[in-house]
Structure 1
């Protein structure tokens, strides 16, 4: 199964955000290259909020290009077998944490947002990743900073998309 086919299947099974979910499916149907950065009409991305429920905190990255505190995530790559694998790879690469595990149940949310050219639009499929008890983060080249935030601190540093992702993740837990 191709990554494009996997993404379509994941989205067909996703419950909630019906209009946005359908917009993602329509995009994939209209764009065979809709998984890749080269699709300038927009493309799917995969992200994961790294969460430590035992300590009531999430790990956010200060994105180098956007200058905002965000969950880990980014573009799909040809080696990604599934959308979930892309989200887990991105979370692991950007957090430096080995042993992350995606929260069961598939994506937590969808978020469509504008991005500076050449990308223009990201159709982000957002997962949540549980950090192991002994998690030690390590900053990547894609980040200006990497920091744990208590749940109640997130709204003060991140945008509404991250706040909604945290709320949905906590509800899933």
Structure 2
């Protein structure tokens, strides 16, 4: 596993606020300490890649209603051994929304989040060290419904809190529009 690429991306990143800074430091520590950090089989947790997909004018975000968790989230998923977290985020965005060739905005990380995934019938509770990238897509491009989602929908940025009011989601919205 090549952790150095992710560690370099993290070194170039500046957290948005104190809450994100705490998760950022925890992520750096986790990646440094765990050679298998990209493996889903690492029981305590693993690195995941996500995409915050926005319209070119930054007034809309593409969210999916996650079937298992029954909540609205940005597309994303497990690295499954792939240390190129940006590639993982792009792959997940395409698979979960059907958008093709989204434009990566900037050359670095957009957001860092650590969240606990509750235990289920297949796995014990564990942490996702989620590395998020900002992608841009024209909202006129058709989206595709997929088996992991109940629905995929463009949501006005000003209405994101109606879909998911978690600090994790609201922080990404505020990064685009501080009053969101």
Matched, 1:129 2:135: yes
Q: Partner of 2:9 in structure 1?
A: 10
Q: Partner of 1:160 in structure 2?
A: 167
Unaligned runs of 5+ in 1: none
The runs of at least 4 consecutive aligned structure 1 residues that moved more than 3 Å come to none
Unaligned runs of 5+ in 2: none
8 Å CA contact retained: 1:88, 1:101: no
8 Å CA contact retained: 2:3, 2:32: no
Q: TM-score, normalised by structure 1?
A: 0.88
**Aligned residue pairs, count:** 169
Give the Cα separation in 2 of the matches to 1:58 and 1:170. Answer: 12
Report the Cα offset of residue 164 of structure 1.
1.0
Matches within 5 A, 1:57-136: 57-78=60-81, 80=82, 82-117=84-119, 118=123, 120-132=126-138, 134-136=140-142
Q: Summarize the Cα distance change of 1:42–1:55 in structure 2 as closer, same or farther, 3 Å threshold.
A: closer
Q: Partner of 1:21 in structure 2?
A: 24
Deviation digits for residues 99-119 of structure 1, max 9, x if unmatched?
Answer: 211111411111111102325
8 Å CA contact retained: 1:46, 1:76: yes
